[in-house]
Amino acid sequence: MRGMRILAIGVALAALCGPAVAQERPLRDAVAQDYRDNLAGLFDYFHRNPELSGREVQTAARMARELRALGYEVTTGVGGTGVVALLRNGAGPTVMLRADMDGLPLEERSGVANPSRVRQADAAGAEQPVMHACGHDVHITALIGTARQMIARRAGWSGTLILIAQPAEETISGARAMLQDGLYTRFPKPDYALAFHVAAALPAGRIQVPAAIVSSSADSVTIRVNGVGTHGASPHLGVDPVVVAAQIIVSLQTMVGRDIHPLQGAVISVGMVHGGVKSNIIPEHVDLALTVRADIPEVRLQLLNGIDRVARGTALALGVPEDRLPVVTRSPTETTPATINHGPTALRVRGAIAAAMGEARLIEDAREGMGAEDFAYYVTPESGVRGVYFSVGGTPPDRVGRAAGHHSPLFRIEPEPSVTAGVEAMTVAALALMPRS
């Protein structure tokens, strides 16, 4: 009977002290349980219902609702559809955790059981298929999971936590829009900023924390190549902008290969060529759209200035009249500097993840290309904010070599190991930066 009374008292105390007991639960177990109870369904919703850049109305509403339910102070409509959530927990540093939430204009052919069938009008009014082809559904799901774990562990940290759901990362304009709308003036300015990206090229659940450069700068550039239109059977009566455009494209690659130091990262890719209406009409112009990538500011400027020089020089060499030379336009919005981690903070985060999750979960740095990220705007040297951006693997190890890349209609991520690793790593990192003194 005495044992029965002790058991009953224990059960009663556990019921009264539920939050304290939850705080003592090992993080990995707590995250796994949360995935089963909440996050799996939330990921399914986000994956089935992606929205285009700057048009993430329902996604933002769901993020705001989830965060308010957890007890965060939530503001919506920041920088368009951006969401900002605050949790004040005494004196200490301010740490910002960011997740991007937009999808891409692609029709999903990934073969998953819960594909997107959404169609949405883009900014120009054209209806597009929409797909989470870059893993942003993982990021926002993990942000909610991290929010829940930080609430449960608030007795173990001190400071101010800021969570942001950012719009329009795919057009590398959302971070700048949120900052211009007062992210660092209307809300507490962070001492640290953290974010992660799920990576199809890495084994699911593995973590990569670069010590320095994470991603390249990016600039979108358009070139209108003018010519003199004429009949296709009489090319000598005009100046063919198709030929001029083709020569510009080739010359741009020669510039990258011969003007830029071979050990410095540089890419110019022409992603769109559009001109003409009929096979036997030489058109008056051809439009090119380019993406320009670099790792250091000097190379970035060299590439951008080189595009102007090559476009003008090629056109002159091929007989384009001086009053019809190419018009080169650099996008004022689709532009971002390189994302570079704050070295000491990256080492601190890496050490905390190794200690909490195991050294075997970490994977050495190995950049797969020159991707870009507008997270860079939050952590510019001028801002003084110390940033760490890391990667979380998203593909089963036996499929890594065959995985479709990001921005592909075949892109797919294994959600459970990706989301749970993201939640665990983000929580560990935030706790390491906000210790209770």
Instruction: List the catalytic residues.
Output: 102, 169
| Cα–Cα separations (whole angstroms), residue 236 to 226, 232, 240, 323 | 16, 9, 9, 19
The position carrying tokens 């974010």 is 195
Tell which residue, 111, 109, 110, 103, has the closest CA to residue 131: 103
Structural tokens at position 316: 């002159």
Contact 172, 291 (CB under 8 A): no
Q: Which helix (H) or strand (E) holds 334?
A: strand 327-336
Distance separating alpha carbons of residues 82 and 87, to the nearest angstrom: 17
Contact 203, 194 (CB under 8 A): no
Distance separating alpha carbons of residues 139 and 50, to the nearest angstrom: 13
Q: Where are the beta strands (DSSP E) in 79-216?
A: 82-89, 94-100, 119-121, 127-129, 159-166, 192-203, 207-208, 213-215
Tell which residue, 272, 256, 173, has the closest CA to residue 224: 272
How many residues are present in the chain? 437
The position carrying tokens 């989470």 is 132
Structural tokens at position 303: 């590439």
* Residues facing 239 on adjacent strands: 228
70: helix, strand or coil: helix
